[in-house]
Amino acid sequence: MPLSQEVENLAQTALRAGLTLNVKRDVDTSNAFWGALFTFGCLPDLQVVINGPVGCYTLPITSILNYTDTLPNLPNVISTDFTEREVTLDGTNPILRTTLSGRSKLNQRRRATIVLTTQESELISTDGFESGSSTDDAVAQFDSRALQDDEWQGRDAALLYLYEHRDWLLASSGYDAEDLRASATKQTKPRITIIGPTYGCFNSYSDLAEIERLVRGIGAEVGCVLPLRARIADLATVDMCDACIVMYREFGASLATRMQKPYLYAPFGIHDTTAFLRELGRMLGLQSEAEAFIAREKQTTLKAFWDLWRSPHQDFFGTSSFGVAAGETYAQGLRRVLQDEFGMRPTVVASRQAKSGPLAYSASDIRQTLLDDPPMLMFGSINEKIYISELELLTGYIPASFPGPVVRRATGTPFMGYAGVVYLAQEISNFLFELLFRHLPVESLERKQAQETTLAIPEAEIVWNPDAVERMNIVLKKVPFFVRISASKKLRIEAEREAVQRRIREVTPDIIDDVARRFAR
């Protein structure tokens, strides 16, 4: 029995029992524990103790997540790893106390330590820190609210926690906050704090590099990147800036508001980036510098895009389609670039965060849309790549979201800013070439196949079943428009050849399906 049928039967059984069973096809967002861990773990001199059962930290971080670029090895993170015995007999307090007393020391000064709850420890109501497991004033607990919040809310709460408890964090690490602030008052250029890049954020290294390039390009300086490149000492001066740039719409704006600083979101596309630079220049008193930088960028960074746009590629863009399933930032940003600036047609634009509205799609909705109207290119996570394979589509796939086995640690693959426009145009153009290559006739192979085929039935006598014609039309709708004529010709030739090899006089729907599957591969 197919899995989908088993799930449906289970749902019906639950309904008869008076229960409502909500089934999610795929999971694309983790809970707030991971968001908090991805945030706290960025600060190398902050000790993080995960108060959780065996395997809740060790297996995911040392095994699963290291297949992507979300997390490096984190020597500042350890786990209590309590077992069933502690939960049922001894209580979790003793093992937490032991873990805290033996936590690693990277230097001689005291280390600020945050005890982080997991969804498992919240579920079983561990008695750990709240029962006074430590008398050390350098230890505090952070309730991740993993059972209630998602990873983006977890990041937002963790960033606010770092800022609102910075005096405690600084004192617990042996710093004098006032001395740090006093020594940082001298600055010759307007200063920007960038909020948002954490572990587990897709493409953060490249997009951060592009945003920093834009900031420096108009004559400002980047003061602090919180939390990806911050240490505890940086918390003392994180708000000594003229403005903030919030990298992601999913989280980070709460901190900028709490700091009472004006902020801008990181831009996508030519128009947004130009408006972003002008507004940032206005906020910092660098209007003329911003205009000069924009003029230079049009002659340098964006030249590669103009070269592409003035070539035959512009016709390809206008006759191609795309889909996006990603976080709010990338879903909206990619739609603006690909639809508004490249002229491509969107088939589905889905935000992981949207609960309602035009960007709200379930995983099943996305899969069905891929089947009904396959885009030429799909930007998304491993989930969407799996759907493309399941449905045997010719749709190309470009990573634009976690989860999934994809590495984005280089700084030369931005989606944001002017450089992002060039990178996206380059990737799309390369896929167009790949698609065209797939449909080029390979003469030597076709000649060899023709020689090996015994034409038991003259080709002129091959007829097409009306159902096969309809099936072929359905298959061709899954092929990008600009190669559909070539694909139609090749599909017809292969279908008739298959009929000859089967020694039948008719092309049937099952022949079309078999040939289409070979095409998809």
Are 221 and 311 within one domain? no
Q: Give the residues across from 129 on adjacent strands.
A: none
The answer to whether the beta carbons of residues 395 and 376 sit under 8 Å apart is: yes
Q: Is the residue at 199 inside a domain?
A: yes
Least confident of 54-63, 356-365, 475-484: 54-63
Query: Amino acid identity, residue 512?
Result: I
Q: Is the residue at 5 inside a domain?
A: no
- pLDDT tens column, 32-41: 998 999 999 9
Are 323 and 433 within one domain? yes
CA atoms within 13 A on the CB side of 2: 3
Residues contacting residue 440 through CB under 8 Å, at least 6 positions apart: 486
Measured CA to CA, the distance from residue 484 to residue 476 in angstroms comes to 7
pTM (2 decimals)?
0.84
Are 328 and 419 within one domain? yes
Asked if pLDDT for residue 64 goes beyond 60, the answer is no
| % of residues, the chain, pLDDT over 90 | 45
Are 421 and 450 within one domain? no
Asked if pLDDT for residue 405 goes beyond 70, the answer is yes
pLDDT of residue 131: 46
pLDDT of residue 312: 75
pLDDT of residue 236: 96
Are 449 and 434 within one domain? no
Least confident of 28-32, 172-176, 446-450, 505-509: 446-450
First to last CA, the chain: 26
Q: Please, what's the b/e burial string for 325-354 (b: 16 or more CB within 10 A of its CB; e: otherwise)?
A: bbbbbbbbbbbbbbbebbebbebbbbbbbe
Are 168 and 194 within one domain? no
Q: Is the residue at 465 inside a domain?
A: yes
Domain boundary among 145, 172, 199: 172
Domain that holds residue 512: 443-520
Domain boundary among 407, 438, 469: 438
Are 36 and 168 within one domain? yes
Q: Give the residues across from 264 on adjacent strands.
A: 245
Q: Is the residue at 12 inside a domain?
A: no
**Count of domains for the chain:** 4
Nearest 5°: CA angle at 384, between 381 and 387? 150
Q: Is the residue at 300 inside a domain?
A: no
Are 358 and 454 within one domain? no
Q: Please, what's the b/e burial string for 43-81 (b: 16 or more CB within 10 A of its CB; e: otherwise)?
A: bebbbbbbbbbeebbeeebeeebeebbbbeebebbbbbb
Q: Is the residue at 294 inside a domain?
A: no
Q: Is the residue at 431 inside a domain?
A: yes
Residues contacting residue 154 through CB under 8 Å, at least 6 positions apart: 31, 32, 33, 34, 35, 36, 38, 39, 144, 145, 146
pLDDT of residue 287: 97
- pLDDT tens column, 222-274: 999 999 999 999 999 999 999 999 999 999 999 999 999 999 999 999 999 99
pLDDT of residue 133: 46
Asked if pLDDT for residue 68 goes beyond 80, the answer is no
In terms of Cα–Cα distance, which of 207, 210, 206, 243 is closest to 224? 243
- pLDDT tens column, 117-156: 888 777 776 665 654 445 567 888 899 998 899 999 999 9
Q: Is the residue at 8 inside a domain?
A: no
Are 273 and 227 within one domain? yes
Could you tell me the two tokens for 122?
């919240």
Asked if pLDDT for residue 190 goes beyond 90, the answer is yes
- pLDDT tens column, 449-508: 555 554 445 555 788 888 888 888 887 776 666 667 777 777 888 888 888 888 888 888
Asked if pLDDT for residue 342 goes beyond 80, the answer is yes
Domain boundary among 411, 438, 465: 438
Angle between helices 269-284 and 417-438 (to 10 degrees): 170
Q: Which DSSP category does 344 fall into?
A: P
pLDDT of residue 3: 53
pLDDT of residue 337: 97
User: What is the CATH number for 355?
Assistant: 3.40.50.1980
